[in-house]
């Protein structure tokens, strides 16, 4: 997180999934996270390449990858895959990459979509993007306090 704090500009956020990977980007002042969609390139290598392309396209100066932890704080195989993705992104674009605890983001996104009446196919299209947006907003809020 410290390496990102010392940068200025937009941050790209990633909610890595087996099928869809949600993306969000901050504004240059780092006050607000906005979802920008999702990618479905298939496989961790292609996903890393697509994220690097999205970072360049959005002029991001850093990347945040959601880190799935269990409710007790432990990490499983999914967290290992997310860490591997973060390493691949960093190797490919040389931008600082941080991990952000993503516990409860999918539940928060689901609750919001329930409240807005978003169902069916539309829900599947937006939940990963919304999760990436929540991860990034949590990261931005923490960044202000360090």
To which residue do tokens 């432990």 refer? 74
Q: How far apart are CA 139 and CA 3, in angstroms?
A: 13
| Cα angle 15, 106, 74; round to 5 | 80
pLDDT at 123: 67
How many other C-beta atoms can be found within 10 angstroms of the C-beta atom of residue 109? 25
What's this model's pTM, rounded to 2 decimal places?
A: 0.90
Q: How far apart are CA 26 and CA 11, in angstroms?
A: 5
Residues linked to residue 140 through DSSP beta bridges, in sequence order: none
Contacts of 113 (CB under 8 A, 6+ apart): 119, 123, 126, 127, 130
pLDDT in 10s for each residue of the chain, 146 residues = 778 988 899 999 999 988 899 999 999 999 999 999 999 998 999 999 999 999 999 999 999 999 998 778 788 888 999 999 999 999 999 899 999 988 777 677 777 777 777 777 766 668 788 899 999 999 999 998 87
Contacts of 32 (CB under 8 A, 6+ apart): 26, 137, 140
pLDDT at 70: 77
Q: How far apart are CA 143 and CA 136, in angstroms?
A: 10
pLDDT at 95: 94
């Amino acid at each position: 997180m410290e390496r990102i704090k010392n940068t200025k500009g937009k941050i790209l956020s990633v909610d890595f999934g087996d099928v869809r990977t949600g993306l969000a980007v901050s504004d240059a002042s780092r006050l607000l996270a906005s979802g920008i969609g999702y990618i479905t390139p298939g496989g961790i290598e292609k996903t890393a390449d697509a994220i690097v392309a999205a970072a360049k396209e959005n002029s991001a100066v850093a990347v945040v990858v959601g880190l799935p932890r269990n409710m007790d704080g432990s990490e499983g195989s999914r967290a290992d895959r997310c860490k591997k993705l973060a390493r691949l992104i960093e190797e490919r674009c040389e931008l600082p990459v941080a991990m952000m605890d993503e516990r409860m983001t999918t539940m928060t996104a689901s609750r919001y979509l329930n409240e807005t009446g978003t169902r069916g196919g539309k829900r599947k299209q937006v939940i990963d993007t919304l999760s990436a947006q929540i991860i990034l907003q949590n990261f931005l809020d923490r960044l202000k306090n360090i």
